[in-house]
Chains A and B, each alone.
Chain A
């Protein structure tokens, strides 16, 4: 189809301009993240596990919420409780915004971490925390998905044992896209700052929506 000359003259630049505008919107002037940006580097949140009320849940159940994913276990007396305690402070600082956030505590020790044990545990830290357990295979699959690792250490002679595990917190946006990684050396302030950005941008996946 051949357009009238005038139309072609105005349409092409218009098209070009709008494409450029759209590109500018979607390719960030980088978002001012303070945590490590993992956008595009990790797969979307996906799992099928059992929550601390005994219900089968999948990642879809958490769409619409900003998710903080952490691998740990309840027999960990030091690092896991400290991490959850810090996340509790973060939730408190977020105030009302925390309603749209969930802390998913995924057990790397499903043998001992039954839904009941997890229920008491997460409730001791924060109302936005959910305990997740499942079969060894399902836990390992989720762990591998985020290149996280865990190792059950040898029994200490009385049946008790420790579990070494990754200490990072994976942050997903409301669409379940992996966005940020918080390490133990990152301060609470960085997490609060970045969560504000994720929570105030509604449900979008990438880029800066005006």
Chain B
């Protein structure tokens, strides 16, 4: 009989805590989302700033889009050493009460195998996937190849 109380308390607190934490995606605000469009079937670069308002860090583990057959999370490296290379990364942490930017010459999405041609000015939905299984849909604006600023 007595053992029911702790069990009940545990159950209640579990319910409360899951409600309070919500998913990683629910705590993320995405902004400055854009795609650098390159001609023909060349891969495009995707950029976005992610702000996390949670007490817990969030972890971006990938992205997908109906507009592209393949989307990978990459990091450009070596700008200071003089050798440019790209690495696929399997996750990108967004600090608690902090932000991370996918921006030119750093973290970016590599979007390949476009399912249909995109035009400058189009918005494309990209789904960002987080480590807890949650996801966030974000509209990315297609910009010309020679875009310098995200703003």
* Given contacts A164-B85, A168-B82, A81 and B148 within 8 Å (CB-CB): no
Find residues 119-151 in chain B having any chain A CB closer than 8 Å to their own CB: 144-148
Interface core residue of B38, B44, B111, B148 (most chain A CB under 10 Å): B38
A75 engages B79 (CB within 8 Å): no
Find residues 109-129 in chain A having any chain B CB closer than 8 Å to their own CB: 117, 120-121, 123-126
* Given contacts A162-B85, A164-B84, A185-B80, A78 and B45 within 8 Å (CB-CB): yes
Residues of A within 8 A of B42 (CB): 74-75, 77, 117, 121
Chain A positions 68 through 92: 1 when the CB is less than 8 Å from some CB of chain B, otherwise 0: 0000001111111110111011000
A167 engages B148 (CB within 8 Å): no
**Interface flag for A183 (CB, 8 Å):** yes
A167 engages B79 (CB within 8 Å): yes
B38 engages A74 (CB within 8 Å): yes
Q: Chain B nearest CB: distance from A64 CB in Å?
A: 26
**Interface flag for B27 (CB, 8 Å):** no
Residues of B within 8 A of A85 (CB): 145-148
- A158 and B110 alpha carbons, distance in the complex (Å): 15
By size class, the interface of chain A is 20 to 34
**Interface flag for B40 (CB, 8 Å):** yes
A167 engages B82 (CB within 8 Å): yes
A164 engages B40 (CB within 8 Å): no
**Interface flag for A34 (CB, 8 Å):** no
Task: Name A79's contact: one of B44, B80, B105, B146 (CB within 8 Å).
Answer: B105
* Given contacts A77-B45, A81-B45, A86-B148, A167 and B108 within 8 Å (CB-CB): no
B146 engages A166 (CB within 8 Å): no
**Interface flag for B39 (CB, 8 Å):** yes
| Count: A-B pairs, CB below 8 Å | 97
- A89 and B144 alpha carbons, distance in the complex (Å): 13
**Interface flag for B51 (CB, 8 Å):** no
A117 engages B112 (CB within 8 Å): no
A166 engages B82 (CB within 8 Å): yes
Residues of B within 8 A of A184 (CB): 79, 84, 105
Interface core residue of A78, A117, A160, A167 (most chain B CB under 10 Å): A78
- A79 and B86 alpha carbons, distance in the complex (Å): 9
- A108 and B58 alpha carbons, distance in the complex (Å): 37
B84 engages A167 (CB within 8 Å): yes
**Interface flag for B83 (CB, 8 Å):** yes
Interface core residue of B78, B84, B148 (most chain A CB under 10 Å): B84
A183 engages B38 (CB within 8 Å): no
- A124 and B39 alpha carbons, distance in the complex (Å): 7
- A123 and B80 alpha carbons, distance in the complex (Å): 28
Chain B positions 105 through 121: 1 when the CB is less than 8 Å from some CB of chain A, otherwise 0: 10010111000000000
Residues of A within 8 A of B40 (CB): 117, 120
**Can you report 16 A-B residue pairs in the complex whose CB atoms are below 8 A from each other?**
A74-B42, A75-B42, A77-B36, A77-B108, A77-B111, A78-B76, A80-B84, A81-B38, A82-B148, A88-B146, A117-B42, A124-B39, A160-B112, A166-B84, A167-B78, A183-B82
4 further A-B pairs in the complex, CB-CB below 8 A; given A78-B45, A185-B79? A82-B105, A120-B39, A124-B39, A185-B80
Q: Which B residues lie at the A interface, using CB under 8 A?
A: 36, 38-40, 42-45, 70, 74, 76, 78-80, 82-86, 104-105, 108, 110-112, 144-148
- By Cβ-Cβ distance, the 5 closest A-B pairs, closest first, are A164-B85, A77-B45, A120-B39, A124-B145, A167-B84
